[in-house]
Amino acid sequence: MNRRICLFALALCAIFLLTVYPSRDCQLADLRNDAHGPETIKCNERLYTQLRLTPSEGANCSGIIRGDIEALEQAALQRLEVARKHQPITESDYLNQTQDCNHYRASRRFLPVALSRAEEDFPIAYSMVIHDNIEMFERLLRSLYAPQNIYCVHVDAKAPELFLKAVQAIVSCFDNVFVASKLERVVYASWSRVQADLNCMEDLLKSPVPWKYLLNTCGTDFPLKTNAEMVLALRLLNGRSSMESERTPEHKKQRWQLRYEVRDSRIVNMGTEKAPPPINSPMFAGNAYFVATRGFVKTVFEKPVVKELVEWEKDTYSPDEHLWATMYRMPEVPGSVPYHEKYDTSDMNSIARLVKWSDLAGDVKKGATYPPCTGSYQRAICNYGSGDLNWMLQHHHLLANKFNPVVDNTAIECLEEYLRQKALIGEEL
């Protein structure tokens, strides 16, 4: 049954693609034949060839994802060579490519149709907060893209004008992707990071797309699941949100007990105490990433007690790491869970984001949370390498962070190939 659904979806994709890539050997009428007919199979194979994503340097992604030592060693050798030869796609390249949107979407292999009725009936909203690396943004968008979904892109107001123009050019080629109506100058660990998401939330709520859940992302994220798998995971939440939310450790309490302000583009501890939080439930700690129901998002703008908390949070340190986690435990918020400690949720148990922290990585047999990073660390977070793929794809998280093509482009390319093949033909590499 799943294979028939996949073949039907491929046929729908072909209707679009064959208008861009006409062929004497493959006619639209062939696609209406029995799914097992030779012409239909031939057309579907051609369609998969046109939409598949393959590594630029011929890496053995199947072996890499299985954790095959020989494939990983070969990938490590190739990575050194590729790093010297790789030419990233620039802002100017995208400005040129997007002058013909039909050709751009086809040449960059964006999926043109929903691949199943279940996906079509369950649109997802995305907030994408970015500031640099135009190629990585476009690859993230492509990996998440489905025409029934809706995407808000927040570009840091400090980003170069050429970067913003390139983003605008890319999103102009899609009816369901747009740049946020208000852009913030984002400062690390300050309120501006939350405000960027809030701006997208407000825009997304105004959209006519009846999305069910909102996932917030940044430019170093990448999905671990196909859109169909995400829809299934979100349905299984049964109307609840999902995010990290745990009791606040003592050393993190000063983040919201003291006042902080942005001075000279950095956040500064003002050394003065804040009033207690304006809520009856406790404060919780988490991270910046969430899987939030539409009701959760609407509450931010409509519920007085939540609006008061949001206002109180504006002069705290890294508010994105305690605002969402706290809202998730407030009884007034739809999609929340009780604030009893039994409902504490670690980042490993939520589905929002898979992250490797340096102080928790090591020998799992000796009690470490996860194996060492095979890429490199940035601010104590792993920029994933190819050797991390086998581990990460065993988890239930929808996305992972961080990825950087400069650190390991093969890791990203193998995820691209894996997800596209799984989406189109229902099979893993």
Catalytic choice (313, 321, 416, 417): 321
Distances (CA, A) of 34 to 11, 18, 40, 64, 312: 11, 19, 7, 36, 62
Q: Which of 406, 377, 381 is nearest to 79 (CA)?
A: 406
Cis before 422 (ω within 30)? no
Distance CA(225)–CA(238), nearest Å, equals 19
261 catalytic? Reply is no
Distance CA(380)–CA(36), nearest Å, equals 52
Percent helix, strand and coil across the chain, each rounded to 5? Answer: 45, 15, 40
Q: Which residues pair with 268 in a beta bridge?
A: 261
Q: Which of 145, 135, 122 is nearest to 51 (CA)?
A: 145
CA dihedral of 287, 140, 314, 212, whole degrees rounded to 10: -80
CB atoms within 10 A of CB 73: 11
Q: E strands, 106-212, where?
A: 124-130, 150-155, 177-179
Distance CA(239)–CA(416), nearest Å, equals 29
> Active-site residues: which are they?
321
